[in-house]
């Protein structure tokens, strides 16, 4: 995504990567406060975080020359990492012809600028990187607009922040070489105008999509949404159970636009299965908001399948992250009026024998947890069966009197409903049945 306003305000590295033909040579740094990570055992290990950052960087097709941890005693206000480390990085950048340094943390605009000056290379932070990936992936009009909106909101917030920061350091005006107040004011106005325009366009697109959705609701099939941490295996599972060919790759955020497919469950019940964008820890809130419209599909789902990478060392923390984002979207797990959530413990094939056994026992204890592998297919039938069972709970309970001579109705009831009670009287058979409301409606016609 490029600087589309043409106003010349700083683009924080965005759009920069796509313009170059050869692959960028990149360093990935994960800075972390040492005491912090030791203090909370629940936190991810820094090495796992670094690995995730590398995965993110790989998603924008750059050449990763080196990825390293930067343990800090304390975050430095000016440069985040210490001056010694900045010097080291500058030497490395020079020696290895590095184009870009990715900091897996949130940098203030000032920190970013100081780092760029100190290291003598382009610097971006985690949010900018995620925005970059999303900009790369978006391939519907709506996706593109959402990403641009997120991008603008991100920049606007940075302008404000950098401005207040400069205010506080008053005296040395232009101390950091940042734009003066008037420049910032006019930049803000340009961005605000652009945001208003995009919001309007988005509303238009969303309205069209809502119409589509309304049309879909006329074919009233329950919607089942696959959600989960990025790379958990949603698309692989989606493909497995729908025989579709959605891009499934060992790449973070392979899926951006939701994909829907109709499938028939063994009971004959038809559902719509929906594959969605993956979640990630510290997903910038501007992005959550931008993807709200897309994720609304999830909100309207009748059942949510939370796909988890059970083989991942951070699977528990990833689960918390996903549930956090769901909560932000208004899905309260376990709440009366929220859709039921099934947990698909995926990648069972990667588990060691002991782990596999333990997880099997664990999942057997809970009806809503299913151990499976989207890759090998093992356990997928169990998930489908559980979906079938859950949806049958939405069945109507009806009591009907069927005359003896109406053999056809009796036969249909025996074949298509669950008979809870039956009794014979003079007028015929009285059945109490649990029946799918759609099938029932159709049959009664």
**Interface residue list for Mg ion (CB under 5 A):** 234-235, 254-255
Nearer to Mg ion, 228 or 340 (CB): 228
Q: In whole angstroms, what is the distance from residue 234 CA to residue 276 CA?
A: 8
What is the helix (H) or strand (E) element at residue 184, kind and residue range? helix 181-218
Q: Choose the contact partner of 112 out of ligand GTP, Mg ion, none; CB within 5 to 8 A by kind.
A: none
Contacts of 229 (CB under 8 A, 6+ apart): 278, 279, 280, 308, 309, 318, 319, 321, 322
Binding mask 268-307 for ligand GTP (x = CB under 6 A): ----------x-----------------------------
Q: In whole angstroms, what is the distance from residue 323 CA to residue 313 CA?
A: 18
Q: Could you tell me the smallest distance in angstroms from the CB atom of residue 366 to ligand GTP?
A: 20
Of the candidates 46, 258, 374, 379, which one interacts with ligand GTP according to CB under 6 A? 374
Tell me if 348 is assigned to a ligand binding site: yes
Phi and psi at 402, nearest 5°, equal -115, 120
Q: In whole angstroms, what is the distance from residue 372 CA to residue 349 CA?
A: 8
Nearer to ligand GTP, 251 or 339 (CB): 251
How many CA atoms lie within 13 Å of 39's alpha carbon, on the beta-carbon side?
5
Closest CA to 13 of 163, 143, 155: 155
Nearer to ligand GTP, 62 or 232 (CB): 232
Q: Could you tell me the smallest distance in angstroms from the CB atom of residue 247 to ligand GTP?
A: 7
- Could you give the angle at which helices 141-168 and 109-119 cross, rounded to 10 degrees? 90
Tell me if 234 is assigned to a ligand binding site: yes
Of residues 184-243, those binding ligand GTP (CB under 6 A): 228, 230-236
- What Å distances lie between residue 333 and 56, 246, 299, 327, CA to CA? 28, 28, 12, 8
Q: Choose the contact partner of 236 out of ligand GTP, Mg ion, none; CB within 5 to 8 A by kind.
A: ligand GTP
Tell me if 252 is assigned to a ligand binding site: no
Phi and psi at 63, nearest 5°, equal -95, 115
Tell me if 277 is assigned to a ligand binding site: yes
Q: Could you tell me the smallest distance in angstroms from the CB atom of residue 355 to ligand GTP?
A: 14
Nearer to Mg ion, 256 or 429 (CB): 256
Q: Choose the contact partner of 249 out of Mg ion, ligand GTP, none; CB within 5 to 8 A by kind.
A: ligand GTP
Tell me if 373 is assigned to a ligand binding site: yes
What is the total count of residues that contact ligand GTP (CB under 6 A)? 23
Q: Could you tell me the smallest distance in angstroms from the CB atom of residue 353 to ligand GTP?
A: 15
What helix, strand, coil percent values describe the chain, rounded to 5?
Answer: 45, 20, 35
Residue bearing tokens 């947890």: 369
Hey, is 316 helix, strand or coil? helix
**CA 436 from centroid of its chain's CA atoms:** 32
For residues 14 and 1, the answer to whether their CB atoms sit within 8 Å is yes
For residues 112 and 128, the answer to whether their CB atoms sit within 8 Å is no
Q: What ranges in 46-108 are assigned the alpha helix state H?
A: 46-58, 83-96
Q: Could you tell me the smallest distance in angstroms from the CB atom of residue 231 to Mg ion?
A: 8
Q: Choose the contact partner of 24 out of ligand GTP, Mg ion, none; CB within 5 to 8 A by kind.
A: none
Q: In whole angstroms, what is the distance from residue 315 CA to residue 42 CA?
A: 12
Binding mask 336-365 for ligand GTP (x = CB under 6 A): ----------xx-xx---------------
Q: Could you tell me the smallest distance in angstroms from the CB atom of residue 83 to Mg ion?
A: 41
Q: What ranges in 169-180 are assigned the alpha helix state H?
A: none
Q: Could you tell me the smallest distance in angstroms from the CB atom of residue 100 to ligand GTP?
A: 22
Q: In whole angstroms, what is the distance from residue 174 CA to residue 181 CA?
A: 9
Contacts of 235 (CB under 8 A, 6+ apart): 246, 247, 248, 254, 255, 275
Interaction of residue 248 with ligand GTP, rule CB under 6 A: yes
Residue in the shown chain whose Cβ atom is closest to ligand GTP = 278
Tell me if 281 is assigned to a ligand binding site: no
Interaction of residue 253 with ligand GTP, rule CB under 6 A: yes
Binding-site positions for GTP read 228-235, 253-257, 275-278, 346-349, 373-375
Residues that bind ligand GTP (CB under 6 A): 228, 230-236, 248-250, 252-255, 278, 346-347, 349-350, 373-375
Binding-site positions read 228-235, 253-257, 275-278, 346-349, 373-375
Binding-site positions for Mg(2+) read 235, 255
């Amino acid at each position: 995504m490029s600087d589309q306003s043409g106003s010349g305000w700083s683009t924080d590295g965005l759009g920069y990567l796509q313009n170059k033909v050869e692959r960028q040579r990149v360093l990935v740094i994960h800075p972390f406060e040492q005491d912090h990570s030791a203090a909370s055992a629940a936190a991810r290990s820094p090495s796992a975080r670094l690995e995730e950052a590398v995965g993110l960087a790989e998603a924008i097709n750059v050449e990763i020359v080196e990825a390293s941890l930067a343990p800090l005693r304390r975050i430095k206000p000016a440069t985040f990492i210490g001056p010694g480390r900045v010097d080291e990085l500058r030497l490395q950048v020079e020696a290895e012809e590095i184009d870009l340094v990715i900091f897996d943390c949130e940098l203030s605009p000032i920190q970013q600028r100081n780092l760029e000056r100190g290291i003598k290379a382009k610097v971006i932070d985690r949010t900018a990187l995620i925005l970059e990936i999303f900009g790369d992936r978006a391939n519907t009009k709506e996706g593109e607009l959402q990403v641009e909106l997120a991008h603008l909101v991100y920049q606007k917030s940075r302008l404000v922040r950098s401005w207040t920061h400069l205010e506080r350091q008053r005296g040395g005006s232009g101390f950091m070489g940042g734009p003066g107040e008037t420049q910032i004011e006019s930049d803000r106005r340009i961005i605000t105008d652009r945001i208003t325009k995009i919001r309007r366009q988005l509303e238009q697109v969303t309205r069209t999509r809502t119409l589509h959705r309304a049309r879909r609701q006329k074919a009233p099939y329950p919607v089942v949404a696959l959600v989960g941490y990025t790379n958990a295996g949603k698309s692989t599972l989606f493909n497995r159970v729908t025989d579709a060919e959605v891009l499934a790759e060992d790449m973070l955020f392979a899926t951006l636009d939701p994909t829907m497919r109709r499938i028939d469950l063994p009971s004959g019940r038809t559902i719509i299965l929906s594959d969605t964008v993956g979640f990630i820890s510290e997903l910038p809130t501007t992005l959550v908001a931008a993807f709200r419209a897309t994720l609304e599909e999830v909100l309207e789902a009748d059942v949510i399948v939370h796909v988890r990478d059970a083989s991942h060392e951070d699977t528990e923390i990833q689960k918390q992250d996903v549930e956090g984002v769901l909560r932000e979207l208004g899905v309260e797990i376990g709440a009366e009026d929220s859709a039921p959530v099934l947990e698909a413990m995926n990648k069972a094939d990667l588990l060691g024998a002991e782990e596999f056994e333990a997880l099997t026992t664990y999942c057997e204890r809970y009806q809503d947890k299913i151990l499976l592998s989207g890759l090998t297919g093992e356990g997928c039938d169990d998930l489908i069966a559980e979906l079938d069972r859950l949806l049958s709970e939405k069945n109507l309970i009806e009591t009907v009197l069927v005359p003896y001579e109406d053999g056809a109705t009796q036969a249909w009831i025996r074949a298509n409903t669950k008979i809870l009670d039956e009794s014979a009287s003079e007028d015929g058979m009285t059945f109490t049945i649990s029946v799918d409301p759609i099938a029932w409606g159709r049959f009664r016609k």
